Structure formats: C-alpha cells, structure tokens
Amino acid sequence: MSSLRNAISRRAHKERAQPSSRKKFGLLEKHKDYVVRAKAFHKKEDTIRKLKEKAAFRNPDEFYFQMIKTRTVDGVHKPENQANKYTQEELMLMKTQDIGYILQKLQSERKKVEKLTAVLHSVDNHPSNRHIYYAEDREEARELQSHASETSVTPPSSYVPDHIKRKTASSYRELDARKSRVNQLEKLYMEMSLKKELQVDRRE
C-alpha cells in the first residue's frame, strides 16, 4: 500500500508568504531558513559545552613555557615581542653566513655565465672541419690538392637547421637571465657587506 501511495502524484504544498500586514518585519522565515539557523545554533551550543567540559576537567598543575611567553589582551592571547630574541654576536654570525651564501651563489652564476658564453662563442664562429693530408713529395701534394678540389662540395654558410636556431636562441635567453641574476647578486652582496661594516663600526 505504501508503494501505491507514493506512486500517486500529490500536490506540492507551498509555504505562505509574509502577510501584507506584516511586511514591515521583512521576509517570512521558511523551513529551510529555520534548518540553517538551528544547525548554527546547535553547533555553537556544542562548542560551548565542550569548552566547559575542558575547563571543568583541566589539570591545575599543567604548565608549558608558552604560558609565560604570552599575555592576554581583551581575552586574546598575544605572544611577546621577540625582536630582541638574538644577541648582537648571534646577529652578526647570521649576517656573515648570509653573505657567504650569497657570495657562493654569485661565484657559481659567474662560472655558468662564462661557460655558456664560451659555448655560444664557439657556435657563432662556425669552425670548419678540414682534414689535413701529408704528402711525401711535391708530386703527391699536387695530386692530393687536385683530388680535394674536385671532390669538395662547399655547403652554404647561411644555412642553419631550425632546431639549432631554436637551441641557440634559448641559450642566449638563458645567458641574459643569468647575467641579470649575477648583477642582482652583486648588488645584494655589496649592500649586505656595507651593512655589516656599518654594524661593526657602531660596535667599536
């Protein structure tokens, strides 16, 4: 019977709108609005209940160091200012380590730039692959020279394959990027070295 009852189409009951006499109170809350509001309300209730249980069963002897490193401002825990966490000697040591790291990166980038420049320079020069023949006398030398002039076919110097052109262009872009990085690292290294020297002068 229940299956037959569900098979018959029923009229969808619509919720009434806000009566005209109550328009001043805004939109009338529908059931779906009530469900959302009830879920939010019960969620807050559960949170408050759990916090009350934690407060009731807390250990009075519980301690951790963050308790003395924070303070409460308007009910909110705020950590203490840790600007003076390190001593001047520790700060100087960290600056020295930073400068050493920047210098190491700068030297590495310079070596890569030099290596890439040398490779591109050798590609641009187009070295010719010529074979050297050694003759025992002048007659054999003339014969070899005439044979080489007959068989040699000079390829057009302007022809370069497309994949070589693409690789060369990519290498030039990489070279420009590395040169720019070297300039940035040099500026950063100079600035950090100057700041360190100024700090040393102030301490003395």
Q: Please compute Rg for the chain using Cα positions.
A: 42
Residue 86 and residue 93: Cα distance in Å, rounded? 11
Question: What's the predicted TM-score (pTM) here?
Answer: 0.41
More confident residue, 186 or 1: 186
The residue type found at 1 is M
Contact 117, 175 (CB under 8 A): yes
Q: Helix or strand or coil: residue 89?
A: helix
Contact 149, 138 (CB under 8 A): no
pLDDT for position 197: 81
What's the pLDDT tens digit per position in 91-139? 777 888 888 888 898 899 999 989 888 888 776 665 545 556 666 667 7
Q: What is the mean pLDDT of the chain?
A: 79
pLDDT for position 38: 97
- Residues with Cβ within 8 Å of residue 30, at least 6 apart in sequence: 15
pLDDT for position 132: 61
pLDDT for position 83: 53
Output 163-169 pairs: Cβ under 8 A, ≥24 positions apart: 168/120, 168/123
pLDDT for position 150: 61
Mean pLDDT of the 155-182 span: 79
Counting residues of the chain whose pLDDT is more than 90, the rounded percentage is: 13
Confidence of residue 195 (pLDDT cuts 50, 70, 90): confident
Sign of the torsion formed by the C-alpha atoms of 27, 32, 37 and 38: positive
Following CA atoms 38, 41, 47, 53 in sequence, which dihedral angle do they give, to the nearest 10 degrees? -90
Structure tokens at 185: 């690292």
More confident residue, 187 or 91: 187
What's the pLDDT tens digit per position in 51-81? 999 989 988 787 777 777 777 778 777 776 6
Residue 136 and residue 141: Cα distance in Å, rounded? 8
